[in-house]
Each structure stands twice: as C-alpha cells, then as structure tokens.
Amino acid sequence: MEKNALEKIVESRRMPVLFIGSGISKRYLYNFPTWGELLENCFKKVEPDSFQYQKIIDELKRSSKSEFEVNIRLASEIESRFNSAFYDRKLQFGKSKNPNWVKTGVSPFKMYLSYFFKKLHLNHNPELTLELEAFKNLKNKVSAVITTNYDCLLEKSIFADDYSVFIHQNDLFSADSYNSAEIYKIHGCVTDAESIIITERDYENFTNSRKLIIAKMLTLFAESPIVFMGYSFTDENIRNIIVDFLSCLTEKELKNISDHLVFISYKANQSKLIQCKRTITTKEGFDIPITEIETDNFIEVYNILNQIMPGISPIRIRETRRIIKTIVEQSVSTEEPESVIIGIDDLSNIDLSKKPIAVAIGYKENILNKYGYGLFDDKEIFEDILLDNKKFDADSMCFERYHSIVISRLLPVFKYVKRATSPIAEDSKLQLYINKHNSMELIIPTKIKKTLSNIPILESVDDIKREIDNVPDTNRKCGVILKNIGVLKTDEIRKLCIPIFMSDTKAAMSSTNFKRCVMCIDLLENGD
C-alpha cells in the first residue's frame, strides 16, 4: 500500500515545520470559540440586542464580501463600538475600574481579547489525555512552529519551556532566532494585546509586511516540509500566504511540493487518514497540487510524526547554532582563543564566559575515534541496541567508554564485548560489571521484582500490548514488559520497546525499567 504524505516525511528523516491554526486550540482548550462566536461575544458586550448584530452581518454580506472580509470588517466595527463604550464607562472588564494599561494607548477591545483568551484552560476530557501526550512528544520531532493563534496553548502546554517564542513579525529575523525549536506567533499573542491582528486595518498592515513571513517560510522550507493543522483548506488568509510562498519557489521545488506541503483537515468522526490531492493556483496561473489528509484521528497523525528519529533534537540544534554564533563572535574579538571539545548534550550546561568552545563537525565515527567515545550520550547506546544503527567500534566502547564503568550504572555492554577483538582483563571494571549483570536474575533482581508486584501477570504478547496501551506512564509501561518478560521472545521485547523509545526518548531514558528491558535484549542476543 502506498505511503501517505506523513509517512513519507518520516521516511525522509526531515523534521517538519508545523503551521497551526485555531482548530487545534478549539480541540484542546475548553469552550474555545470559533471566529464568529468570538466576534458575537464581543459585540454583545456592547449591544445585547442580537438583531443589531445580525443587521451588520447582513449588510456586509450584501456587499459581496467573502466570509473572511466580513469577519475582519465586523471586527473593525466592534472595536470602534467597544472602545467607545469602554471610555464612556458603559463597559468594564477585569478587576480594576481604572486599569493602568489605559495610559499606554492599547485598544480596550484588544485588551479584552487578551483577557478573554488568558482565562481559557485545557479541556480535561479523558479521551484527549493520550492524544495530548502524543502531541507534546512532537517537540523533539518538529523543527519549528508557526501559528496564527493568540492563545498560549503551544508554549505553555505543548512545547512548554523548551521553545523560544517570537510574537512580532519583525522578530522573525531577530538576532535571537535560530530557526529551530521556536514558535512564531504571526497574528500576535495575548501577552501583548497590541500585537493581536483581527481588524481590517490589522490585516492590511499584515498583508503589507507578509513578505517577512514568506521569507521565514522559505528559510525553514529549505530544511523542512510544512504540515498545516487546525485550518480549513478554504481559509482565505492562509491560502493567500501559501500562494505568495509558492510564487517564490523554483520550478524544481514546485515539482516536489505535494509531499512537502501537507494539510491535516478536521473531519468529524473520521477514524482513518483519508488522503486526497487539492490544487492551489499561483499568481502566475500555475495549478500546484497540495496534499490534504482528512481525519478526526489526530493521535494517529502525532504517532506517525513521532516516528521521526532526528540525529539531534531541534532544541539541541538551536543551542548548537547559538553556541557557534557565540564562538564566532568571540573568535573575532580574541587574539588567542583556547578551546575545549564538548558533546551536543552538554551545550546547555556550558558557561561561555569562562571557556571558549570548539565544536567538531564531521562523520561521527571519525570524530569519536579522534576525540574519544565519552563524547556522546547514553541514549545513543540504547538506540544502537534497539535499532543497530550506530556502527560503534567495539574495542573503543569496551576500552574507552566502559573503562571506568561502575556497578550501579544501567548500560548494555554485551554487544560490544562480544565483538571486541581483544579480551577483557579479569581485573577490569568492565569485567566486574559483566559478572554482576550476566543473567536475567541479576538485571531484574528481587528488589526490582517487588516494585512490580502490582503489575498483572499476562499470558500473551497481545495482552501485554493492550496493557501497555492503557498505561500512560513510561516507566510503568516498561514495568509491564519486565514483569512478563519470561513469556516474550527477544524480538518481541524489542518491538515493544522501540515505540516507547521513539515516542518519548527523554521519558524512556529517565526510566530504569526501560533501561533494564534493553539490557535484557542485549544479554539475550549477545551474552554467553
């Protein structure tokens, strides 16, 4: 069966850019309004008579305006009435009757929008729990996020603390932007009410400066496909952005655009991912095929994208780019710079004020052979056991990486011991480690089994899979495998562990149960 566009993105190993609209906020925030509902709510603050609201809408529709044009003109009308009522003391919101922000000249209408969206909170529907977790895991799988949403769902609940946020269009190319692990809020944000784009004048200004957004998209597209979520394919504003974007691409880039520009459209009660081709016409009159996937099964969308296995997480990429920029700036101003080699995972802990940094770039095998096998993180070892994809030199692993290994560490070693060309010294720390971990009983000792006492004993692989799927916590998922490891073949253990590792690598590497599972795989395959 032909792979869908999302599966092709995974196959390409390229981290996508997410372009996120209000449909995503509506899905996960409690009582999140549509654009029409929001405008009607604001109008009723000024004029409770619903007939007056309908009167304005009818007048605008008779003027042959599109739905988008009607909404932005309506927003302009509401802002005018809302602000007048507020200054005339006929309308109040918030706790203070005389708020200090009035002196700043911010539109009361936009301040109310900020106040309104700040009050929204996550929808705690149990059916969305696993879906939200899968969405959160994407922070290590996507390159960056562009959004037209005002709310703070993405930066506070989905990509919390790890992504930098840029609100103004002028910030898209600021010195602090590194095109990775960043959220670009191109329609403004509730944290800066004046930045909110909603009225006719706002969109006129937005259109005039849209070239900045297009330039950013071109920069991001050079490395990543773009996946749109939370928009209707007919959304006029987004289609205008896409048309401008397509007009800047080369003929060669346009030929492959179908699989690199993907719309995820909401379709109620659709459990499958239904893929179809749509067409967008450029300013030059060319019909460009775009891939649309219709579904209500967003957890499947996230699970597919979570299969992406980047060599370096977007957060580390941003830190690396920041460090390299700092190195260059320091090198220009320093006559005799000193250097120290560090690993990618150490970047966030480095104080550049104390020591300049040199970063080695090249084939991993060459760098490791030259600078030592202590350079990379433990997760690389676990990934190599699960996927056999790292091509580590066995002797270097045994006599460098494991040279000082302590008994309390949880690390697979038998794959490299088995392939080493030189014997392991009897009095070495590695041999002592082997002696203490060379059986299933030693990897899963009695004290560990006691911690698994409340996990059920299961009879089949299918039962184990179902139990894992019903457990949200990573460590407990792996506890289910450990508890029932006696009924599993080695390949079955691996097939259960790989999705756990791929969906949330950080959680897996924080789980002692996960580490013991992988150590069991290593022992069963490579132990004596």
Q: DSSP labels for 361-383?
A: -S-HHHHHHHH-TTSS-HHHHHH
Same domain for 40 and 16: no
367 contacts 358 by C-beta, under 8 angstroms? no
Cα distance between residue 418 and residue 527, in whole Å: 8
Domain-located, residue 320: no
Q: pTM of this prediction?
A: 0.66
Q: What is the distance, to the nearest Å, from the Cα of residue 28 to the centroid of all Cα atoms in its chain?
A: 16
Strand 287-295, strand 182-185: pairing: unpaired
Beta bridge partners of 263: 228, 292
pLDDT at 362: 47
Closest CA to 146 of 218, 247, 53: 218
- The parts of the chain modelled with pLDDT lower than 70 are 1, 323-375
pLDDT at 372: 56
Q: Domains in the chain: how many in total?
A: 3
The domain containing residue 232 runs over which residues?
5-32+122-305
Domain-located, residue 442: yes
Same domain for 433 and 401: yes
Give the pair of three-digit tokens for residue 113: 């929008």
pLDDT at 337: 47
* pLDDT tens readout for residues 145-179: 999 999 999 999 999 878 999 998 777 877 788 88
Same domain for 513 and 493: yes
pLDDT at 339: 46
Cα distance between residue 347 and residue 325, in whole Å: 13
Q: What is the distance, to the nearest Å, from the Cα of residue 423 to the centroid of all Cα atoms in its chain?
A: 45
Same domain for 460 and 527: yes
Domain-located, residue 165: yes
393 contacts 367 by C-beta, under 8 angstroms? no
Taking the CA atoms of 517, 518, 524 and 528 in sequence, report the sign of the dihedral they define. negative
Same domain for 155 and 15: yes
Domain-located, residue 324: no
Beta bridge partners of 274: 294
Same domain for 135 and 86: no
pLDDT at 352: 52
Taking the CA atoms of 372, 374, 380 and 381 in sequence, report the sign of the dihedral they define. positive
Same domain for 272 and 146: yes
pLDDT at 221: 81
Cα distance between residue 413 and residue 424, in whole Å: 12
Same domain for 390 and 267: no
pLDDT at 313: 79
pLDDT at 332: 47
Eight-state DSSP code of residue 151: S
Same domain for 192 and 276: yes
Same domain for 137 and 44: no
Same domain for 266 and 172: yes
Q: Which amino acid is at 477?
A: K
Domain boundary among 270, 305, 340: 305
Give the pair of three-digit tokens for residue 81: 């009435």
Same domain for 15 and 60: no
